Amino acid sequence: MTDIIHPLILCGGSGTRLWPLSRKSYPKQFARITGAQSLFQASALRLSGVEFAPPMIATGADFRFIVTEQLAACEIAPAAVLIEPEGRNTAPAILAAALILQEQHPGALMLAAPSDHVISDTNAFRATVQAAIPAARSGDLITFGIRPDRAETGYGWLELTAALGAGDAPVPQPLKRFVEKPDATTAQAMLDGGRHLWNAGIFLFSTEALIAAFAQHQPEMLATTRNAVSTATRDLGFTRLDPAAWGQLEDISIDYAVMEKAEQISVVPYSGGWSDLGGWEAVWRHGGPDADGIVTHGPTTAIDCTNTLLRAESADQQLVGIGLEDIIAIAMPDAVLVAHKDRAQDVRLAVQHLKDAGVAQAETLPRDYRPWGWYESLVVGPRFQVKRIVVRPGAALSLQSHHHRAEHWVVVAGTAKVTIDDHVQLITENQSVYIPLGAVHRMENPGKLPLTLIEVQTGAYLSEDDIIRYDDVYARERTPKT
């Protein structure tokens, strides 16, 4: 009988190098960058089927409802969603999942994979994973390496003990060492030598072997992570790792923590299409440039351009490039990036500059996603704000009040069940309701279609922290967003 593999999908990153499309409030793994599905959804589907158990997910509190909503859209039910109190890199997250899985399925095989990679040949990837199972069953820690097609300086590399042949099957190979991101000369030498692979950051191991490796090389981290897991709390189906214990953990990747120290380690080469979409240059490359090196997305026009990426995210805008060479131009409704393709990795510096300057666009999108749906600000002025709000079928906002603003709701699609103090009413399309300042109120969507309304706020203070929650089906704090 074939071993069942338990996937762990890591989706806690912020993806700043794909700004302005990817931001802290809605990072790249949840965005539709390469198709109709988000990168996270594509990852979950790739790791589903008869050979896989339901996935475990490790993410942050702000993304927990996005995770469950996107999985539901793919008809995938997770085995568990682990909430990391704060980012601590891959080692603690993978170890916590392994400890939980070991309790439930001793000795299970766990495949840890990022949520934001593109793997174009799902069947080839699954075959590569299957080829690694015997070595993992024998106690090896397995890492997967990508056969390189260029002298890439943006990735770490894996050095093998012998060169691979062009047609070699994906079987475990002895790993000599991990190589840090190289300079151009070193990368070219490694490419020419044929003994190096790109480090994909994907791992397969038995829970017993991984825990034993941590016991040998990171005993303090193992003890602290055990504490974070043993004192975790359940919250609406999520597993919240203990914040106090988690805060004591080192911020470290699994490569540094144990993989580079372990003795029984192998690498399995993967020859299919792969990209970590680690920057806009990678998106340009993955997009399949035409004969002139042009990649476009959305309402764009390229005239006399070469080696250029033009991407517009709103149907209401037009992005036109004339005479551009080696340029990346990304247009969002609230922010535009124009950069030389050679400086694509420096986008994160721009994000930090905007953050230091207090610019909202550094980390937040115009559309704010909540457990019940989303909203976006249409107009903001002195003492007023106009929003569009969309509530999913069956969802409900919290029972709340505001100290500083009144609200006027106009339904434009669907039906809303509105509670204002002791009065409950249904309002439908072209109807409206007024919520006085200080009134305790709630909006619900009792229908089977999305509810869309326009909200007009008036008052002296209109920020989102002017919310007092009295009851919330999503177990959020009494004051604002969690």
* 171, HSE (Cβ side, Cα atoms, 13 Å): 5
Tens-digit pLDDT profile for residues 198-224: 999 999 999 999 999 999 999 999 999
Query: For position 481, what pLDDT does the model report?
Result: 47
Tens-digit pLDDT profile for residues 146-205: 999 999 988 999 999 988 876 667 889 899 999 999 999 999 999 999 999 999 999 999
The secondary structure of 298-367 as a DSSP string is: SSEEEES-BSEEEEE--TT--EEEES-BSEEEEE-SS-EEEEEGGGGGGHHHHHHHHHHTT-GGGT--SE
Percent of the chain with pLDDT over 90: 85
| Domains along the chain with CATH numbers | 5-275 (3.90.550.10), 286-356 (no CATH), 367-471 (2.60.120.10)
* Spatial contact of 96 and 225, defined as CB atoms under 8 Å apart: yes
Tens-digit pLDDT profile for residues 338-392: 999 999 989 999 999 999 999 999 999 988 888 899 999 999 999 999 999 999 9
As given in the structure block, the two tokens for residue 244 are 């106090």
Query: pTM value?
Result: 0.90
Tens-digit pLDDT profile for residues 71-90: 999 999 999 999 999 999 99
